Chains A and B, each alone.
Chain A
């Protein structure tokens, strides 16, 4: 069955450093991959989407890479701030067409940025 793993349950870093979160998947070739942020007691918030034919996407201090050979996505937050502390979820979409909204989620990585 489809498996998606986020390597770390928790990541602690110092303010100003770059946080790098990892997402690995097996058994399928996803159409695209997404990253979400979730704060305690709230729903996930969409951050970035990267398609299978894209290597890298950027948005402000965020960068996502997608390596379909390694079956891996890396999510980077540069110049991290305490406000970036949250749980980050990786999700992939297997198909285009009618079920393209069906996301398969990783369990998340809880990022803590210390001042």
Chain B
């Protein structure tokens, strides 16, 4: 069981570039989500999905897109990167008891 995996671990983008952060889980969890973590802010929910084909916005969705074509994968797309999107991004899936399993994170810098 790999749990929740994320790629890449680190990424540097220039303002205006786009990219996709990958997330996959092998636990057959229906619910998956993306958070960003900034110093002094705590983790904030970007988007979430309650199952394949269903996504919804969290607290800070602007500038990000998601899709969920399979149970396993939940990619996060940055459409046009901005310096304000410099952050650490965590993907998570929810177990049957409500506990969340987080990936190792992607550290993104936008210059």
Contacts and interface: CB of A to CB of B under 8 A. Distances in A.
Given A99-B48, A102-B58, A49 B42 contact: no
A103 B99 contact: no
B100 interface: yes
Interface in A22-67: 32, 34, 36, 41-46, 49
B1 to A, nearest CB: 15
A7 interface: no
Contacts of A41: 105
Contacts of B78: none
Contacts of B45: 102-104
B105 A42 contact: yes
A103 B42 CA distance: 11
A93 B98 CA distance: 9
A34 B42 contact: no
A16 interface: no
A43 B48 contact: no
Contacts of B58: 102
A107 B37 CA distance: 10
A108 B42 contact: yes
B2 to A, nearest CB: 13
Question: Nearest 8 CB-CB pairs, A to B?
Answer: A43-B102, A101-B94, A101-B31, A105-B43, A46-B99, A107-B42, A105-B42, A44-B102
Given A36-B102, A108-B42, 18 more contacts: A32-B98, A36-B100, A42-B105, A43-B4, A43-B90, A45-B102, A46-B100, A46-B101, A99-B48, A100-B94, A101-B33, A101-B48, A101-B100, A102-B33, A102-B48, A103-B43, A107-B40, A107-B41
Interface of A: 32, 34, 36, 41-46, 49, 89, 91, 93, 98-108
29 contacts: A34-B98, A34-B100, A41-B105, A42-B104, A43-B4, A43-B104, A44-B43, A44-B100, A44-B102, A46-B99, A46-B101, A89-B43, A91-B43, A99-B48, A100-B31, A100-B98, A101-B33, A101-B50, A101-B98, A101-B100, A102-B45, A102-B48, A103-B45, A103-B100, A104-B45, A106-B42, A107-B40, A107-B41, A107-B42
